[in-house]
Amino acid sequence: MPNKLISPEQTEFQLKSTLWLFTAAGSLILPFALYDISQGKWQIGLGALIIAFALFLGSWCCYKKTYKPIYTFLLLSPFSTFFLLYLTNTVGISGTYWCYPTILLFYFVISERQAWISNIVLIVCILPLAWNLLEANEAARFTVTLILVSAYAAIFLRVITQLYDARCRQANTDPLTRLYNRASLQDSLTQAIHQADRTGTAFTLIGMDIDFFKQINDELGHDVGDNVLVQLGAFLKGYFRESDKVFRTGGEEFLILICNSNEAESAEIAEKMRKDIENLSIIPDRTVTVSIGVSGIGVEKDWQVWMKTCDQNLYKAKHNGRNRVVVGSV
């Protein structure tokens, strides 16, 4: 299975929000844990102290960018549910108050599906205990408010996620071709270099420029030129895998970041793509060709050098007669 690049903006947003949620929750729980221990309530205090420590550890992992939500789901969520059951059984109604922030926290620090599972388990476990310990009217209010808080949090999170994803797509997408634009190029290349260092995964850049595109605009009009860009964008999007990234970097310039493909393999892909584009019927009675430059990461392992090398190879392809592929790294 090919490695798939993760959106740098989305990862950064999730890590920062989770970091501050963990920090806030841990900071609020810690004083209660210390107070309970000082009052001789060792079981309650120790349980709260473990949860606070786990929250601070999660915060530290977010800071170091090593946080894995699955560990919170498998370890912290079950322990928190068990502790809330023990707390409610021990202190009564005041123990149920902690169910509300716990449910909210789950929705924001683990995946949506994991949060649903954790909260359903919590609600199913805590409600019978609440009805057994509390008066009927108090238990009914607790049931309704707990379910409403969980539902509101789920709806709110879904809306926020959809809006944020839409904003990221809009900020990083070319409006004409629906390909990636230059906004996320630096982050994508830097992430590819880091991944290559960590895992040995091969990455290659393919730079492509439409030959004589200005003549197409001048002779046939910008509407035809735009149609050429749209059709080529759709062709490139279908030509490459989901693990690859296709950018429109300029007027008639495209860039493809290929994952799990070395320079020689990518050169073969580029040559086949060049021939396939030449055989496309994009403009009636007119052949559209492209010049292509190919470059591996190289020894410099710097995104600017990598990009510059690819641009130089593309320039050589155009200078040497166009409709050809030039390959080489630093």
Q: What is the pLDDT of residues 55-98, one digit of tens each?
A: 999 999 999 888 999 999 999 999 999 999 999 999 988 888 99
pTM given for the model: 0.64
Which entry of 242, 252, 265, 278 is annotated as an active-site residue? 252
Residue 285 host element (H or E): none
Name residue 260's amino acid: N
Q: Tell me the longest C-alpha to C-alpha distance in the chain.
A: 89
| Contact (Cβ atoms closer than 8 angstroms) between residue 107 and residue 154 | yes
Angle between helices 136-172 and 99-109 (to 10 degrees): 20
From CA 88, how far away is CA 98, in angstroms rounded? 9
As assigned by CATH, the class of the 182-327 domain is alpha beta
Q: 111: pLDDT confidence band, cut at 50, 70 and 90? A: confident
pLDDT of residue 285: 87
From CA 32, how far away is CA 42, in angstroms rounded? 12
The domain segmentation of the chain, as residue ranges, is 8-172, 182-327
Give yes or no: 135 in active site: no
Report the chain's mean pLDDT, rounded to a whole number.
91
| Contact (Cβ atoms closer than 8 angstroms) between residue 76 and residue 47 | no
Burial class of residue 154 (count of CB atoms within 10 Å of its CB; 0-12, 13-18, 19+): middle
pLDDT of residue 6: 40
From CA 182, how far away is CA 8, in angstroms rounded? 14
From CA 32, how far away is CA 170, in angstroms rounded? 44
pLDDT of residue 93: 86
Which range among 13-22, 137-146, 226-235, 238-247 shows the weakest confidence by mean pLDDT? 13-22
Task: Tell me the per-residue pLDDT of 304-322, one tens digit each, with 9 for 90 and over.
Answer: 999 999 999 999 999 999 9
Task: Tell me the per-residue pLDDT of 3-28, one tens digit each, with 9 for 90 and over.
Answer: 334 444 556 778 888 999 999 999 99
**Residue 63: which residues within 8 A CB-CB, separation 6 or more?**
19
From CA 217, how far away is CA 208, in angstroms rounded? 18
Q: Which of 297, 309, 292 is nearest to 255 (CA)?
A: 292
